Structure 1
C-alpha cells in the first residue's frame, strides 16, 4: 500500500465506525516498513486528525528521528501537544516549523494560540496578525484577535477590532434570511422603531449580555423583540427589565418566523457590549435577572433545612470546542462534598451517566437534574442556595446575573471575558474565580475551593 493510501483506507474504517480496526491497520503497516520516516509521519498526521494525540506524537517523533524533514511533522506535533494541554511544548514545535518556512500561515496561527494559552497576549496577537496576511481565509482570524486583545486588557482596541470585523453586508444577509427591512443598529435614536435583539452564541452569552436591555430601552424604541434560546424564554419574560417595560413593548420569542416586517433595527446581544464600548469601569453589573416568586417559593420549601446549601455544575455542552478543558471530571470534584456543614445539590442537566449518579449517591448529593426543565427552574433553585460552584458555562452567568454567590472554576487557558488569572469578575460582583494553573490538572484549584469552603 503506497503512502497516502493507508490514510485513505484508515479513514474509510473510521467513517464506518471502526476506529480500532483503523489503528490496527496503521500499526500493521508500520511493522512492515519500520524504518520508513514518511510512513511514520503519515501515521502521525492521521492519528492527530482523529484525536489520538499521544499516539500521534510518538509516530511523529519517530519520523523525525528516522530523518523525516517534512515541515508538517513539527506542525502536527504542535497541534497534538496543544490538544494535550501542553502549550509551551506546542510553541516549540510551531517555531521549529516556522524556522523551516516562515510563510506557513497555519503554523503562525497555532503558534499564536499556544502563546495565548500561556498568557503571552502581545506575542500571540503578533503571530495571529502574521497568520492573517499569509492565509487565504485570514480575515476569519479577526474574531480571535480581538478576543485576545481583551485577555490582554486592551479594551478600547479590542472593541475597535471587533467592530471592524463585522461583515459590511450584514444588512443584506439579515434581509435575505428573515425577509424584513430591519437594519443593523449603530446607536441611533429608536423612537417609533422596533429593534430585534438576537442570540448567536450559547445560553451563557445571552444571559451575559441581557444586562444591556435597559440601555436599549432608554433609546426609546416602540418595541423590542428578543430572539433567544427556548430554555431562556420564561426566565427573561420574568426579568425586572421586561416586567417594567411590559409584555407589549418587549416580546421574548424563540422562533424567528414570528418576526414582522416593521421599520427598525437589529443587533446581536454581544454587539450591545461592542456598541456601548464596555469597560471594567462601565459595565451594567447589578443583578438583572430574578426567578418568578412563585417558583422560588416552591423551591424554598423543597430545599429547606439546615446546613450551607451549595449547588454544583461540573460539565458543559460538548458542542463547545474547549469543553474537554473547561469541564471537570466529577470524581475530581468529589473531595468538596465532604466539607462539614454543607448540603450539596447537583444542577447538571440530565439524565446523568451511571458513574456520575453513583458518585453523587455515595457522597449524599441530591440530584436535581430531572427538575431542570429550563433556566427558570435553575434560577428558582439558585435563589434558595447559599452558593453555586460551577465551571465556565451558562449556570455561571446565571448565578452572576441573579447576584447569587458564585464560585467559578476557570480553565488555565481562560475565556476572554474572565481576563487572565483574575480572582474577581467585574461583570459579576458576586462571582469569585478559582484559576487552574495547567490545563488538565484541576487538583490545585479544587483544593483551593475546599480550603475556602472550610474557612467559611
Structure 2
C-alpha cells in the first residue's frame, strides 16, 4: 500500500503516474478524497478533469473546468478544454466563444497567423474584402468549407478564400467565394480576415442550422469516370477501408486500428478497397482471411482521387480521419468507427451526425473495446449486401 502523500506536490506526482498508466478510476478516487472540501490547488483539479473525461464523465469534467475557468480566467488551456466539452454537448453558443483560445496556449501559439487586419465577427461589411483562410487538418478544412457561402451572404463582402494545396481543386466547388488561392501565396489586399474554424462563432452557428446544403464539395467528373472504369469489374458492394489516421494526432493511439482488426467485417460477395495512405497502408500487403481486399493506396495520388472513389463505391468504413469528412462533404455514405474518447464534433450518444446526413457512427462502449462497433458495422454491411438493386 502506498504511503499517504504528505503534500500537494507528492499527491500531484502520485496521480500523474496513475494518469500516465491510464488508471483513471484510481486517480479519481485519490483526487476525490483530497479535494472533498471543494478547494485545493488548480493543478489537482485539472488532473481530476482528465480522470473524469477519460472515463466519459462529461458532466463532471465540464463542472470542474467551469470552476477552474472561474477561478483563473487566464488559464487558456482550461478554457480551450472547456470549449471542447461544451461543443461535445452541443452547447454551441458558449463553445464557439471559448474555442477562440485554441491558438493562445504555449504549444499552439506557433500555429496562429498574426494578421493586422481585424477578425470578422459576423457584421455586414458590404464593399469590403474578407479574407477567409483554412487552418489545422484536412478534415477541418473539408468540414468547415460549408460555411463560406453563409459568410459571404452575411458579410456582403468580396471573399478571398485560401486553402491548403491538397484541398485546392475540391474547394473550387464551394459557393460564396470570389477568389480562390493556395496557402503560401500572397493574398490581395483585404479589410477583414477570419479563420475557417472561427466562422461558426462569427455566424452564431447552432445545431439547428445543420447540415445546411449537402453536398458542398464535388468530385471531378473526369476522375469519377476514370475510377468507375477501374472498379467496374469488381463484385459489389464496394466498401472502402481506412483504418488509421495521422500518426501525430494527439488521440491517434486510441482512434486508429490495424487492418487486421477489421477482419470481423469480411463477408462473401463483397469487395473491400484499401484507401489507406501513410505508413499504415503497407498493412494491405498481407491479405485478411475471408476478405476480398484490393489495395488502391498506391493509385491514390491526392484527395481528388479519394473523392472520385467515394463517389463510385457503396460506402466507406473508416476511423475518424480526413476521408470521413471528405465523404460527408460529398454526401457519400460512410460508417465511422469512434473511440470511447472521441472528438467533440461527433457529439454524444448519437448514431448519426448532424453535420453529414449520409453518415452513421459506431462508438466504442468502453475504452479500447472495438468488438461491439465492428460487429455493428458488419451487420450494416450485410444489410447493404442484401439491399435490392
Q: So what's the TM-score if we normalise by structure 1?
A: 0.74
Query: Which of these residues, 47, 52, 55, is aligned with residue 110 of structure 1?
Result: 47
Alignment map for 1:77-116 (pairs within 5 Å): 78-83=15-20, 85-98=22-35, 102-116=39-53
Q: Which residue of 2 aligns with 1:370?
A: 298
Q: Which residue of 2 aligns with 1:53?
A: none
Secondary structure at the counterpart of residue 297 of structure 1: helix
Is the CA contact (8 Å cut-off) linking 1:387 and 1:407 kept in structure 2? yes
Alignment map for 1:51-66 (pairs within 5 Å): 65=2
Q: Which residue of 1 aligns with 2:209?
A: 282
Q: Which residue of 2 aligns with 1:424?
A: 352
Unaligned 5+ segments in structure 1 are 1-63, 168-172
Query: Which of these residues, 75, 79, 99, is aligned with residue 142 of structure 1?
Result: 79
Distance 1:411 1:364, change over 3 A: same
Distance 1:201 1:192, change over 3 A: same
Q: Which residue of 1 aligns with 2:107?
A: none
Q: Which residue of 2 aligns with 1:49?
A: none
Is the CA contact (8 Å cut-off) linking 1:327 and 1:391 kept in structure 2? yes
Deviations 1:312-336 (A, max 9, x none): 1111112211111111222211221
Query: Which of these residues, 49, 57, 61, is aligned with residue 124 of structure 1?
Result: 61
Distance 1:444 1:79, change over 3 A: farther
Alignment map for 1:108-257 (pairs within 5 Å): 108-132=45-69, 138-162=75-99, 177=114, 182-219=117-154, 223-237=158-172, 239-241=173-175, 249-255=178-184, 257=185
* Cα separation, 2, equivalents of 1:398 and 1:353: 19
Alignment map for 1:299-338 (pairs within 5 Å): 299-305=227-233, 306-336=235-265, 338=266
Question: Post-superposition shift, 1:454?
Answer: 1.9
Deviations 1:292-349 (A, max 9, x none): 111111111001133100101111112211111111222211221x212211111111
* Cα separation, 2, equivalents of 1:77 and 1:422: 36
Unaligned 5+ segments in structure 2 are 105-109, 385-389
Secondary structure at the counterpart of residue 184 of structure 1: coil
Q: Which residue of 2 aligns with 1:37?
A: none
* Cα separation, 1, equivalents of 2:17 and 2:273: 37
Deviations 1:368-417 (A, max 9, x none): 11223221111011111100011111111111111001110111112111
**How many residues are treated as equivalent by the alignment?**
377
1:345 equivalenced with 2:237 (yes/no): no
Distance 1:88 1:185, change over 3 A: same
Deviates more, 1:434-443 or 1:104-113: 104-113
Question: Post-superposition shift, 1:223?
Answer: 3.6
Distance 1:326 1:84, change over 3 A: farther
Distance 1:429 1:108, change over 3 A: same
Q: So what's the TM-score if we normalise by structure 2?
A: 0.86
Question: Post-superposition shift, 1:76?
Answer: 4.5
Q: Which residue of 1 aligns with 2:286?
A: 358
Secondary structure at the counterpart of residue 339 of structure 1: coil
* Cα separation, 2, equivalents of 1:177 and 1:439: 39
Q: Which residue of 1 aligns with 2:223?
A: 295
Distance 1:174 1:410, change over 3 A: closer
Pick 1 or 2: higher relative contact order, CA cutoff 8 A, min separation 6.
2
* Cα separation, 2, equivalents of 1:365 and 1:298: 20
Is the CA contact (8 Å cut-off) linking 1:85 and 1:439 kept in structure 2? no
* Cα separation, 1, equivalents of 2:226 and 2:143: 26
Bigger Rg, structure 1 or 2 = 1
* Cα separation, 1, equivalents of 2:66 and 2:285: 47
Distance 1:144 1:107, change over 3 A: same
Distance 1:335 1:175, change over 3 A: closer
